[in-house]
Amino acid sequence: MSATHNTRAALAHIATHDGEVNAFTDILTERALAQAAKVDAAGMTGPLAGMPFAAKNLFDLKGNPTRAGSKIRRTAAPASTDAALVARLEAAGMVCVGALNMDEFAYGFTTENSHDGPTHNPHDLSRIAGGSSGGSAACVAAGMVPVSLGTDTNGSIRVPASLCGIFGLKPTYGRLPRTGATLFVAALDHVGPFARDVTMLAAVYDALQGPDAADPAQIPMPVALTMPGLEQGITGMRIATLGGWFDGPQTPAARAAVAAVAQALGSSGTAIWEDAESTRAAAFLSTSSEGAGFRLPELLTMLEEFEPLTQDRLLAGALLPAAWIFHAQRVRAVGQASMRALLADWDILIAPATPTPATPIGQDMLEMEGVTMPLRPSMGLYTQPISAIGLPVLTVPLQNAQGVLPIGVQLIGRPWQEATLFRAARLLEQAGLCVAPVAPAFATPAFPG
């Protein structure tokens, strides 16, 4: 199939279905068809050539204002160039068809965006898609595009991947360049891809790797391709399930999903990371403070234009004592050290991605196992401690975990060992346990697979 054919098919699928899902904030027809024509004219080949994708609307797309889900950036000047990850995918022959809905400035786990409207979960349109990269997960789950880009500060790739039932990769902190992506919390921000199958995710991740001198936060590591070893299996790997904090309040669906993945991967025990709660708390403090600090000039002058769900949280974050943040950074370092010691014994750790499948849009509180907690921050209970110390995580989906709703499980690895996670995910996919077909209501996808 030509790039032009694929692109037209994706655009038609989006036109038919995005009214229900609200994954897209911008559909870039002209740009997409021009890129597709270029790919076709060049006769590009390879696993990604001619495949459409879309990007969370905090990635710069040349000629488009980068809004990061906000109202206050709607009148921003158009981006002068593409974000690094977008440019890399297009260099591999992919075609960007649009920008995707998200929580404002990536502060949230639900994509209930008051400016652009909520993104609806393709498995049940009355429920959230997760966030903050909710549009990124929903458009892939609904079969509009085979691949999307998102970001993850505290769980914003893993939470929507879980709730929408697709694969999502949060690489090691510093692995992929953030150039041209609007930052939320620089010390915690990661970028990464979503897809419905492991091979496609691996091909995309491999295309995204490589140094970028323009990103001061990228850590110079050699490219570590995942495709060559994808089918090697997990023989010899030591795999455990995280207990303690990660065995906290969650639905039966979350528990069953972790147990099923643990069994399929031959998990040989339970590992306890004693610093999980304090590390999560440190990330919560840093996020509150840094997220607000980035936006303080605008909070002072345009407060009412911010997302109503986050105005008060941002203001509170702007006031945190410096001593809290300094201490939080030291707690983070302590948590990193204790996890590093734990990972000396294990190649992969298994944990829930979200404590629950998707909840109804507008729900404020979550009750699980006798514990009631605010829903929005609690979606990141089990993702936040892991991103706080920058470990790579591949979220794998289990379908029909609670009725029609899917849920995800985190495969957590050592720093820079993404390839290990891909091998395990591929095995789970081949076993039929972790697969991500298009959500049934959208079952004639632009791109089967």
Partner 1 sequence: MLDQKNFDPAAYVAAAAPAVGLTLDAQRQARVAAALALVARVGAAALNRPVPESAEPAAMFRP
Instruction: Point out which residues bind partner 1 (CB under 8 A).
Output: 172-174, 187, 217, 219, 275, 277-282, 284-285, 288, 296, 299-300, 312-313, 315-320, 323-324, 326-334, 336, 374, 377, 389-391, 415-416
Among residues 70, 132, 148, 162, which one is catalytic? 132
Closest approach of Cβ 144 to partner 1, in Å? Answer: 33
Among residues 70, 136, 148, 156, which one is catalytic? 156
Q: Which is nearer to partner 1, 120 or 280 (CB)?
A: 280
Identify whether 136 is a catalytic site residue: no
Closest approach of Cβ 322 to partner 1, in Å? Answer: 11
Question: Phi first, then psi: what are they for 329, rounded to 5°?
Answer: -65, -35
Q: Which is nearer to partner 1, 22 or 278 (CB)?
A: 278
CB-based contact 58:151 (threshold 8 Å)? yes
Identify whether 156 is a catalytic site residue: yes
Q: Which is nearer to partner 1, 323 or 344 (CB)?
A: 323
Q: Residue 244 contacts by C-beta under 8 Å, 6 or more apart in sequence? A: 272, 273, 274, 276
* Three-state DSSP string of the chain: CCHHHHHHHHHHHHHHHHHHHCCEEEECHHHHHHHHHHHHHHCCCCCCCCCEEEEECCECCECCCCCCCCCCCCCCCCECCCCHHHHHHHHCCCEEEEEECCCHHHCCCCCEECCCEECEECCEEEEECCCCCHHHHHHHHCCCCCEEEEEECCCCCHHHHHHHCCEEEECCCCCCCCCCECCCCCCCCEEEEEECCHHHHHHHHHHHCCCCCCCCCCCCCCCCCCCCCCCCCCCCCCEEEECHHHHCCCCHHHHHHHHHHHHHHCCCCEECCCCHHHHHHHHHHHHHHHHHHHHHHHHHHHHHHCCCCCHHHHHHHCCCCHHHHHHHHHHHHHHHHHHHHHCCCCCEEEEECCCCCCCECCCCEEEECCEEEEHHHHCCCCCHHHHCCCCCEEEEEEEEEECCEEEEEEEEECCCCHHHHHHHHHHHHHCCCCCCCCCHHHCCCCCCC
Number of other CB atoms surrounding residue 114 within 10 Å: 14
Q: Which is nearer to partner 1, 267 or 278 (CB)?
A: 278
Q: Which is nearer to partner 1, 334 or 371 (CB)?
A: 334
Identify whether 38 is a catalytic site residue: no
Question: Phi first, then psi: what are they for 407, rounded to 5°?
Answer: -150, 155
Closest approach of Cβ 21 to partner 1, in Å? Answer: 31
Q: Which is nearer to partner 1, 74 or 330 (CB)?
A: 330
Closest approach of Cβ 129 to partner 1, in Å? Answer: 24
Among residues 56, 133, 289, 378, which one is catalytic? 56
Q: Which is nearer to partner 1, 54 or 386 (CB)?
A: 386
Closest approach of Cβ 349 to partner 1, in Å? Answer: 14
CA 271 to CA 19: how far, in whole Å? 45
Closest approach of Cβ 128 to partner 1, in Å? Answer: 20
Q: Which is nearer to partner 1, 27 or 309 (CB)?
A: 309
Closest approach of Cβ 56 to partner 1, in Å? Answer: 22
Of residues 255, 309, 244, the one with CA closest to residue 113: 309
Closest approach of Cβ 241 to partner 1, in Å? Answer: 22
- Give the catalytic positions in this structure: 56, 132, 156
